[in-house]
Amino acid sequence: MTEKDARKELMRRANELNITVHVGKDGLDQGLFDEINNQLKKNRLIKIKVLSNSEDDAKGTAEAIEEATGAVAVDVRGGVIVLTDKRTWTSLSQKKF
């Protein structure tokens, strides 16, 4: 499976997910990164909403989260980030049919 196919599969799975993390005016801090890590360990795929009163845009926030948590941003659309853990991304990207 290519990275494009893995991205499609994860987006299909994320279609039914609710947003569980909100990034607001307080921005990114260690508590938020810990919460994202905990949710990724539990669910392996989460949605994050970057609110309009946040200092950064969604793409900048996604890059900062990737760097801090080691996760992979599957997709960024508008203010919504779909995030998965590295293990899920690697296993789907390397899967052969």
Q: What's the whole-number mean pLDDT along residues 45-69?
A: 93
Answer yes or no: are the C-beta atoms of 82 and 65 closer than 8 Å.
no
pLDDT at 1 over 80: no
Cβ(76)–Cβ(66) under 8 Å?
A: no
Structure-token pair, residue 78: 């508008």
Mean pLDDT across 11-25: 94
What is the C-alpha separation between 86 and 40, in angstroms, rounded?
A: 10
Distance, in Å, from the CA atom of 23 to the CA atom of 62, rounded to the nearest integer, reads 11
Over range 57-63, report the average pLDDT. 93
Task: For strands 19-23 and 45-50, give the pairing.
Answer: parallel
